[in-house]
Structure 1
Amino acid sequence: MIDPLPLKHPRLPGLGRDDFVIAPSNAVALAMIDGWRSWPGDKLVVTGPPGSGKTHLAHIWAAQSGARIVAARDLDSDSVPALAEGPLAVEDADRIGGTAAENALFHLHNLMKAQGHPLLLTGALAVGGWPLTLPDLKSRLQGAQSAVLDLPDDTLLTALLAKQFGERQLNVPPAVLAYLVRHMDRSFDTARRVVSALDRASLAERRAINVPLARQVLEEIAE
C-alpha cells in the first residue's frame, strides 16, 4: 500500500490586538497606534524590516479606526476620492510603483488632510529612502511623526517563532526554539523562512520537529 502524501499544515495567522507580541522593540510603535486620535497632522509613518509587524499594526489600527488598507503600488487617480472618505492605511509606501501611483498618493494625502481623515503609511525604509520624486510629497511625509520597529531580542524572537509554529498548528519543544534563537540570523524575515522550511521538511521526511532537524534546516538555508 502506498502511503498518502503528507498534508500541508494549515496556517492560521492572527492579526488582532491579542495576537501581537509586545516587546521593547515594538512597544513604542504600538502605543502610537493606540494613540491615533492624537497623531500630529493626522498622520503616522511606521517603518521596520520585513516581517517586523507593520502589517499587523496596520490591521490593529484598522480595527480601532475603521480604516481601509491598500498597497501603495495599487494606488491610482481613479481610486483616490473613495479612499479619502475615511481613515486609510497605505502599506509598503517605500515600494510605490511609479509616477502614477506616486501622483495618486500625493493627491490622496492632500485630500485626506483637507477632510481631516487620519493616514497611516508603512515601509521597510525611512521616508528619506523612499523612491519619491515629488518634492512636496517627500517633504510632507518626512515631516510626519514616525515609529520605528527594531530587530527582535531573544524574548521576542522566541515568542515570534512560537506564534508562527502555532499558526501552522505545530507543537514545537522549547529546546528547538532555544536552538533556533541561538543559531539563526536575528531577523523577522529569517524567522518566517525557518518556520516554513521546518514545516516542509517535517512533512516531507515524516519527522518530528526536533533539534537535529532544526540544525539540518538552518544549514540548508545558509547554503
Structure 2
Amino acid sequence: MARQLTLDLTMPPASSRDDFLISGANRHALGMLDQPEDWPGGRMLLIGAPGAGKSHLAGFWADERGAHIVQGWTLNPANADEHVPQGGAVVVEDGHEAGGNPEAEQGLFHLWNLAGARDCRLLITARAAPRDWGIGLPDLRSRLDSAAQAVLAAPDEALLPAVLVKLFADRQIQAPPEVIDWLALRMDRDLDLARRLVSAMDRESLAHRRAISRRLAAELLDKLTPPDP
C-alpha cells in the first residue's frame, strides 16, 4: 500500500504580545524588555535556550517599535549602517552566530557603535552569554559583556503544559487534556523538545491516521529523548 501523502497545513504560530504565555520563567525578562529606557547604553541581551521564547518576545517588541530585525550571521561592516535608524530600534536575532565569524563580528561591532551614536535601542537575542560565543574580537567581547542580560529560565510547571496546548493549537489540533497532563509530568521541561514532539505527533497522526493519544505521545517522546548515559 502506498504511503499516504501528507501536506503541512500548519498555521503560522500565534506570535503577538497577547499570545505570549507569561510565567515565573519569563516574567522578569519581559519586564526588562518593556523598560528599554533603563538599559545601560540602550542595549540589552535576551538569552535563553532554543524554544524558550526569544524570537516571540523580540518579534512583538520589534513590531511595537517598528524595529529592524537582522540575523547575527548576516552582519558585516558594509550592511550594519542600514539597520540602525536614528532614534529607533534594531533587533539582532541569534547574535551568538556572529561569534567566530570575523566579518559578522566586525559587523556587530560596527552596529553596536552606531546604535550608541544614533540613540537607537539595540536588542540582541542569543542562546548563551557572550563568553560562550567564541568571539575573536576583544573590543566586541568587552562591549557585549557590559550589556544588561535578560535570561529566560527553563519552563516551570505552569508554563510547559500551557506551551504544549499552544503548540497543538498552532497546528489546529485540540489535544486531549490527558495527553497534555501526561506529557507535562514525564517529559523534560524543554520547550525545544516540546516543539519537536508536537511536530512529530502531528506528522505521525496525519501520515498514519492515528489519534493524538498518550500511546502516540509515549512512542515519540521515547524516540526524541536520548537515553541516559
What residue number does 1:53 align with?
A: 53
Percentage of matched positions with identical amino acids? 44
The yes-or-no answer on 1:31 pairing with 2:31 is yes
In 2: Cα distance, 1:149 partner to 1:57 partner: 10
Per-residue displacement from partner, 1:90-148 (whole Å, max 9, x unpaired)? 01111216101100111111111011101001111012112211111111111111100
Aligned residue in 2 for 1:108 = 111
Q: Displacement of 1:194 after TM fit?
A: 0.5
Aligned residues: 222
**Runs of at least 5 residues in structure 1 that lack an aligned partner in the other structure:** none
CA–CA separation in structure 1 for the residues paired with 2:225 and 2:53: 24
Per-residue deviation, residues 14-50 of structure 1 (Å, max 9, x unmatched): 1110010000010011111111233221001010100
Corresponding letter in the other structure for 1:219? D
Ranges in structure 2 where 5+ consecutive residues have no aligned partner: none
Matched to 2:52, the amino acid is S
Amino acid in the other structure paired with 2:213: N
How many Å separate the matches in 1 of 2:3 and 2:154?
A: 42
Separation in structure 2 between the aligned mates of residue 63 and residue 37 of structure 1, nearest angstrom: 17
With the length of structure 1 as denominator, give the TM-score of the two structures: 0.94
Quick one: distance in 2 between partners of 1:137 and 1:144? 11
| Whole-angstrom CA distance in 2 between matches of 1:107 and 1:212 | 53
**4+ long deviations beyond 6 Å:** none
How far apart are 1:8 and its partner, in Å?
3.3
**TM-score where L is the length of structure 2:** 0.92
SS of aligned partner of 1:78? coil
CA shift in 2, pair 1:81/1:8, >3 Å: closer
Partner of 1:184: 187
Match of residue 90, structure 2, among 48, 72, 88: 88
CA contact (8 A) 2:130 2:141 kept: yes
